[in-house]
Amino acid sequence: DAGITQSPRHKVTETGTPVTLRCHQTENHRYMYWYRQDPGHGLRLIHYSYGVKDTDKGEVSDGYSVSRSKTEDFLLTLESATSSQTSVYFCAIGPGVYEQYFGPGTRLTVT
């Protein structure tokens, strides 16, 4: 697997609390992505980054923000978690606009 890790791997949090998920890569890839995976919906893009400090919204960005201050780290923040944000979150990286390689995922439960 590509040098990509996610932390934490599992998290349970309460409604209304802030949550930050971290994606870390050792491949020096320019592109990084955050997806959520829910039954019946496949993988949906939340936010992505095409360089340090360069980010943009995906198709399901409401309630999420991101930051990328270093090439290797891409952070996803849920400002005030809601039950609808219970999901499995995958980070992906890519050397260019084509191939994307996924991290191991983070299972988030909001109670």
Give residues in contact with another protein (CB under 8 A): 1, 33, 40-45, 48, 50, 56-59, 90, 97-105
Q: Considering the complex, what minimum distance in angstroms separates the CB of residue 16 from another protein?
A: 29
Rounded Cα–Cα distance for residues 21 and 23 (Å): 7
Q: Give whichever of 29 and 103 is closer to another protein, judged by the CB atom.
A: 103
Nearer of residues 67 and 102 to another protein, judged by Cβ: 102
Residue 42 beta carbon to another protein: minimum distance, rounded to whole angstroms: 4
Strand order in the sheet with 19-25: 4-7, 19-25, 73-78, 64-70
Could you give phi then psi for residue 67, rounded to 5 degrees? Answer: -150, 145
